[in-house]
Amino acid sequence: MTDWKIPLYAPSTGEAEARAVAEVLRANWLSVGRVTQDFEERYAAALEVEDAVAVSSGTAALHLAVLALGIGPGDEVVLPSLSFVSAAAVVALCGATPVFAEVKGAHDLGVDPADVAARITPRTRAVVAVHYGGHAADLPALTALARRHGLALIEDAAHAPATKTAYGVLGTVGDIGCFSFFATKNLSMGEGGAVVARDPEVRARVRRLRSHALTVGAEQRHRGGPSGYDVDGFGLNYRPTEIACALGRVQLEALAERRVVRQEAVRTYRELLSGLPGLEVPYADRPVEEGAHHLFPVVLPDGLDREDLQTGLRAAGVQSGVHYPPTHLFTAYRERYGTRPGSLPVTESVAARQLSLPLHGAIEIQDVRRVAEAVSRTWAPER
C-alpha cells in the first residue's frame, strides 16, 4: 500500500475497541448473541426507533430489505446510478430490474425526485433514496412521491449512521432503512450493517431472513433452548459476529465526538477552497452541522483534468478518491439492461468531475489545510 502522508480515510480505533474484542473472546461465543442484541438496542435508541436488526454488511441490509418487501421478478426499483453498486446489485439478484435515475446536479448529489417520477411505471415497486456522503436526499419529495404511487421508500443510509435532520433521523423516515458499518464508515465494525423498518412485520421478516429463516437460533440452542427448529422461509446467513457488534458499541459511543471533528474539517475545507474558480462543493449551502459528512466531495469545472489533479495530490502525499463510477455504465448493467452512455447526462457529467478529499473522524485541521494547499497548487494556472 502507498504510504500516504494524508490518507483519504484512517481508522478510528484504539484500546477501547481492543478491550471490547477481548471481552467477547473471553465469553467464548462469537456469533449472534447477547452482545449483538445489546448493540441492536443501543443503535435503535440512537435512531429513536423500537428495534434494529444487525447484519453482516450494508449490502446484506439492502438485500434483506428488498427480500422482506417481496420484490422480485417482473418488478422495478428506481434508484440513483451515482452510488455504490450494491443497491442495484441486490435488486438484480432478486430478479427485479434496477431503473436508474438522475441526481439533482453538482450542488446536490442526491437522486432527483422529478426524474424518479418520470421513470415510474406500473411495474415499479420501490424507490431507493441514497443519502450520499451522509447528506439527506430530498425526503419530503420522495416520501410524497412514494405515497402517491403506493411504492415502498428504501433509505440507503450507509453513509449516515444516527444522523438527525429536519426531516427526521435518516434511515427512519421511509419504509425501511439500511446502514453500513464497513471498515471505512463513520461507525466501523470492519464489516457490518443494520436494518430498521416502520412495519414490525417487515422488521421481523428481516430478522428471520438474516439467519436462514430458522425458528430457533444457534445461540438459543447453545444456551439450553429447544434443540430442534423449523424453517419457515428461504433465508440466508447474514448474521453479524459478536466481535463486530462489540466494536460497534464502542464506535457508537464515540460517534458524536468524531462527527464534530468531521464538521470542523468540512468547515475548514469550505473556507479554504471557496476561492478556486469553477470548483463546486456539493451541499455547501447546508449548515455544516447537518449531515454525517462521511465524504467530502468536490466537483471540478469542465476542462480541468481530474487525473492531473490527482497526480498533483499524489505527489504531495495526499490520497483522493472517486465516489462513484455510475452504476449504469458498468459492463454487467449495460449487457443485461441495455443502459448506455449518454442516458443519464447529469449523472455522467458530475461523476466524471467528482473527487473526494481526505475526511475521517481523526483528521487534524493542519492536514485539511495541507490538502487545500495541495489542491490550490495543482489547480490549472489559467483558472
Active site residues: 185
Judge whether residue 221 has pLDDT over 60.
Answer: no
Question: Which pLDDT score, from 0 to 100, does residue 232 have?
Answer: 86
Confidence of residue 383 (pLDDT cuts 50, 70, 90): very low
Judge whether residue 288 has pLDDT over 70.
Answer: yes
Q: Which residue has the higher pLDDT, 275 or 88?
A: 88
Question: Which pLDDT score, from 0 to 100, does residue 1 have?
Answer: 43
What letter would DSSP give residue 2? -
Nine cell digits for residue 326: 455510475
Question: Which pLDDT score, from 0 to 100, does residue 233 have?
Answer: 87
Nine cell digits for residue 128: 431507493
Question: Which pLDDT score, from 0 to 100, does residue 131 have?
Answer: 98
- Residue pLDDT, tens place only, 45-61: 999 999 999 999 999 99
What whole-number distance in Å separates Cα of residue 337 and Cα of residue 100?
10
Alpha helices in the chain (DSSP H): 15-27, 34-47, 58-68, 86-93, 113-118, 139-149, 200-209, 218-222, 242-273, 306-315, 331-337, 345-353, 365-378
